Structure 1
Amino acid sequence: MLFPDLTICNFNPIRRSYVQGQSILNDYISKHPNFTVDEFYMEAGFDCSEVFKYCSIGGRVFDCCANAEPIRTNFGKCFTLKLQSSDKEWMHRQTEPGASAGIQIILDAHLEEQFGTNKPNDTTQPLFSNGFENGFRYFVHQKDSIPYLVANGISISPDTVAYTAITTNRYVLLPRESWGNCSDEYPQEYAQSDFPYSMANCQSICKAKYFTDNCGCTPSLYNIAETFPECSPFETYICIDQHLRTQTNDSVYYAAPDCSQCKLDCLSTTYQTSNSYGRGLSNGALYWLNRKNSNWSIDHMKENFGIVNIFFSEMTFTEYSQVQATSLTEILSDIGGNMGMFLGMSVITITELSMYFSKLLWIIISKKRREYLYKKKTKEQEHDKKIEEVVTEISLFRSRKEGTGSMSRLKGLVAQHQVQPTSPSELNIAQLAWTEAQQNQSSEIPEIITDDCNPRKMNGGVNVSS
């Protein structure tokens, strides 16, 4: 696992020996005509070699100051240890979990450099700076990001051993074009910045621009890009009091800049820490360190030395990825499914409805279309009438044809049976019935040939005798 950046600050931001003998600010400014707050803190703070006494990774010793960069924070002059920037590959990462394979740093608080130590040669008054305790504050953070030691830092006092176990979380968010809200680029008004984008960097530049627009300068804490004129502490106080402070009745409000245009990073890494402490350096450790450097007296180490152990508790990280809850394909599928289930609609139905309403609108708008449809309907009615007449004629023809066929069937039935001799009266009745049938049916009337009431063969070969 790659080591993160580590920023360490001394709670005492100013060395007493640097300003001793300069009783007032005007005296100091007269000796330093180009006075700025940044320059003052960087010169009055402790040097790297005064703070870092011993550094190792997995037991291998390395030079802390060769990989540390001074940085000014709200704690004054601090140092950021950037192990990933080292030219030695073994310093970039931890190879196994546990404190024995992590980073160990021994720090010197130099409490003798505080104001008001009550020592015989110290005539200064105690100075209340950033905290109630002595020692250091450190913060584990992502590479090339701003350390927020006030909110997320870890404190350690002299004669204490701290163990900081790290767990890594990585966040992958969606940009705006993928329905997300993150960004990898500065807003247009901050595009001139050369700093890598992060939400913290963007907000710092936003606040620096806000102060510059209202007061003509910005507090040095927000001038991370060093592109804005910096305010002195007095100018910062006047700016806030005259331009940003508003009072309503008994309440005082300070106008804060709106930096909502600074979005979350699309790719970020955070380090969660779990801390434990041990009080008091062992005698064996004190004598071992004294043998390392005879200038480190045991009394001085008991009063000033603190040991920080930073390590990965496990060689894994957790990644949180933001994904679209529903893709475009799924949305269309859901719409189609709901319409089909609750409305009985399909793509064909939607197409038909679209065509129907478009044609209806065409009829309403176009007069030619209405005339055309009227003529078409008239022709269709005439055509239907002709078809109906033809069908009627065909039906009549078929009914006549079916009647002829029934007469033929009648003659066939008669041919199949022998007719018993009939009396003259019965024969007359049959002739009357035959005559009536002949009048109703004109085609294919069978002939009855008689000779002196002795019937001959009829059609079909039927003999009739009287």
Structure 2
Amino acid sequence: MEPVTYELKVPATLQIHNMFNVSLLKPLVQRRRCGAPPVPSRIDVDADVEFEVQSILDSQNVWGKFQYLIAWKGYGPDENSWEPASHVYMPVVHRMFHRLLGKFYTHLLKHPVPQSEDRKKYDREFAVSTSFHGLHKIVGTRTRTSKILWMFVVLGSVFIVSWQIYTRFLNYFSWPTTTSVTVQYVNNIDFPAVTFCNLNRYQTQAVANLSIVFFLWSIVSAVLHFSTVDGNSKFSQEISEFLQGNQNFSIKEFTRNYGFYLNNSTLLKCEYFGKPCYPKDFEHVFTEYGNCFTFNHNSFDRRRKVSVSGRGLSLLFNIKQSEFTDDPALGFVDAGITFVIHSPEKPPQFDGLGLWTPVGMHAHASIRQLKTVIQEYPWGECNPNIKLKYSTIYSTYGCVQECKARHIQNQCGCLPFLLPGNGMECDLEKFYNCVSPALYNIEILGVCSVGTHNTTCPVPCEETEYPATISYSTFASEKAVKFLSMKLRKSSEYIRKNLVYIDIKYHDLNYKMTQQQKALSSTELLADVGGQLGLFCGASVITVIEVLEYVVTNFYWMCIFLLLKLVEVPQCTPAAPNQLKTVQQC
């Protein structure tokens, strides 16, 4: 044949010419299927090849011609096609589809759209009977000028009330807050816990080279605050040699045994509300200052409430400067006692918060109880859903400690003994080679971040603190020095260089509460919006329902009108009874 003409083998039943131009042809694309494809059901009607319909999926009206979306039996969804209604011969499915469509159409016909006059009458009745002020004036006024005037008044009122409501909602969703400060006077108040530490941490005769011990403790105690130790320091070689020669050395046990201790020789006097207290009433705790001791801790059985101001805890310490020492190269150049006042449920935090009392001084600490209440997000920055695993109450400091413990345990496979948790204790080699770099990464990457609601450790929703006002006087007087010298059998110089006197008492029986509050509650917002509606439009909840009913009714009528225009159900006539199948022709 010619280059642009092809001869095709076509069924004889088609009764068409078998010569086609190349422009009318396209190659057959075979689809890959799993297994043999089903053979389409074929029906021969009057020598025409036709295919059986599986279902009618949809219908549409195109330029006045009704069409069906057909799913062909034996073919996949890709072969679905739109066909004119007159080409469809499937009585059962056809009747079912039109029965449903007819019911829907009948429903629309039973609820016709009111005539234009009826709709106008409905609008007028709504304007006259509604409690929305001003509409009946527009409808009832006869003069054109009055109608226009009232129309401007109503539209102006609607605009103003819309603007007022918009600004109210805008203000509400900016989550405003107010802060109130109140002083509450009470008959009694809880006494806080107090943790004391000696600024000279280790016994002088404990080891030959205390500089190594001091440096090792600085590495260990770095986990309590974000700080790292330079691995290239001058002690690197000495530390390596020390660890090689002391394989079983434990800085924890060394500090416990050769750090500051509390007994009758270091605690010369202890009075708690006029009654004596003893070293056994203190609980040992490790801090960056080594061995420290907490009075009135959480398990203390003599905890009590203060009912009289000016009384509290009185302590007289002997720090024994000749027996205990520290390394000035690491910044420990003072002699005395440092202490921190905190809640019994919280761990002591010395980092920047401790109070210092030098030797030869009498410190008078006057405390107050300060409670802070922060709103949860989005009004405030607290997150009430965060709970600590190893503390009864949430605090930012406790959260950071637990966060660091988790990451160090995951990275190094051990847990520093200064951090809360359960796990294998890190040895000195792990501290030096793994824990210190891990702390550096935690700080650089901001893993244990503090502050806003989306940080690891947001601010607590409720917190109790004990700010103190401290004053000093020289201890002791000349007469007191002589008395103590005779009692302790020590010289006057020893008394002035080793003794520290501390008094801690409440200033007043009250507590100050700083509370963050919502500036606008949802109830106040609703009342404000209702006031604006009533002021400018005389509207209420009943008015809002009336307007909604009016809008919904008109919207329903509009939908019925559009559906009646779009839906046209074709009439189907029965085919001749002598056909083999029951065929309907549309």
Conserved? CA contact 2:360–2:476, under 8 Å = yes
Aligned to 1:97: 309
Q: 2:554 aligns with which of 360, 369, 374?
A: 360
Aligned to 2:321: 111
Conserved? CA contact 1:163–1:277, under 8 Å = yes
Aligned to 2:261: 47
Q: Separation in 2 of the partners of 1:2 and 1:245?
A: 39
Judged with a 3 Å threshold, the aligned counterparts in structure 2 of structure 1 residues 147 and 243 are, in CA distance, closer, same or farther, namely closer
Q: Separation in 1 of the partners of 2:357 and 2:404?
A: 31
Q: Separation in 2 of the partners of 1:200 and 1:245?
A: 18
Note if 1:11 corresponds to 2:199.
yes
Note if 1:320 corresponds to 2:514.
yes
Q: Separation in 2 of the partners of 1:263 and 1:327?
A: 24
The answer to which of 284-293 and 142-151 deviates more is 284-293
Output one character per residue of 1:68-102: Cα deviation in whole Å (capped at 9) or x when no partner: 111111121111111675444xx62444222xx23
**Residue type at the aligned position of 1:256:** G
The alpha carbon displacement at 1:181 in A equals: 4.9
Q: Separation in 2 of the partners of 1:68 and 1:25?
A: 34
Aligned to 2:532: 338
Q: 2:284 aligns with which of 62, 66, 70?
A: 70
Aligned to 1:258: 448
Aligned to 1:309: 503
In the TM superposition, what are the counterparts of 1:62-461 in structure 2 within 5 Å?
62-63=277-278, 65-82=279-296, 85-88=299-302, 92-98=304-310, 101-115=311-325, 127-174=328-375, 181-182=381-382, 186-187=386-387, 192-193=389-390, 195-221=392-418, 223-225=419-421, 227-232=422-427, 235-239=430-434, 254-259=444-449, 260-294=455-489, 296-342=490-536, 345-367=539-561
Output one character per residue of 1:142-201: Cα deviation in whole Å (capped at 9) or x when no partner: 11212221211111111111111111112344456x9665456645xx6x5365433321
Judged with a 3 Å threshold, the aligned counterparts in structure 2 of structure 1 residues 242 and 329 are, in CA distance, closer, same or farther, namely closer
User: For structure 2, which runs of at least 5 residues remain unmatched after alignment?
Assistant: 1-188, 213-237, 450-454, 566-586
Q: Separation in 2 of the partners of 1:8 and 1:107?
A: 10
Conserved? CA contact 1:184–1:197, under 8 Å = no
Output one character per residue of 1:30-67: Cα deviation in whole Å (capped at 9) or x when no partner: 7865444333322221111153221113543321x121
Conserved? CA contact 2:382–2:461, under 8 Å = yes
Identity over aligned pairs, percent: 24
Give every structure 1 segment of 4 or more consecutive aligned residues whose post-TM-superposition deviation is greater than 6 Å: 21-24, 368-371
Q: Separation in 2 of the partners of 1:184 and 1:44?
A: 42
The alpha carbon displacement at 1:344 in A equals: 5.4
Let me know the Cα RMSD of the aligned residues: 3.4
User: For structure 1, which runs of at least 5 residues remain unmatched after alignment?
Assistant: 117-125, 247-252, 372-466
Judged with a 3 Å threshold, the aligned counterparts in structure 2 of structure 1 residues 290 and 242 are, in CA distance, closer, same or farther, namely closer
Q: Separation in 1 of the partners of 2:445 and 2:325?
A: 35
Where relative contact order (Cα < 8 A, 6+ residues apart) is larger, the structure is 2
Judged with a 3 Å threshold, the aligned counterparts in structure 2 of structure 1 residues 369 and 318 are, in CA distance, closer, same or farther, namely same
Conserved? CA contact 1:165–1:273, under 8 Å = yes
Aligned to 1:382: none
Aligned residues: 344
Q: Choose 1 or 2 for highest CA Rg.
A: 1
The alpha carbon displacement at 1:350 in A equals: 2.0
- TM-score normalised to structure 1 length: 0.64
Bigger share in helix: 1
Conserved? CA contact 1:10–1:137, under 8 Å = yes
- TM-score normalised to structure 2 length: 0.52
Q: Separation in 1 of the partners of 2:369 and 2:348?
A: 17
Q: Separation in 2 of the partners of 1:213 and 1:115?
A: 36
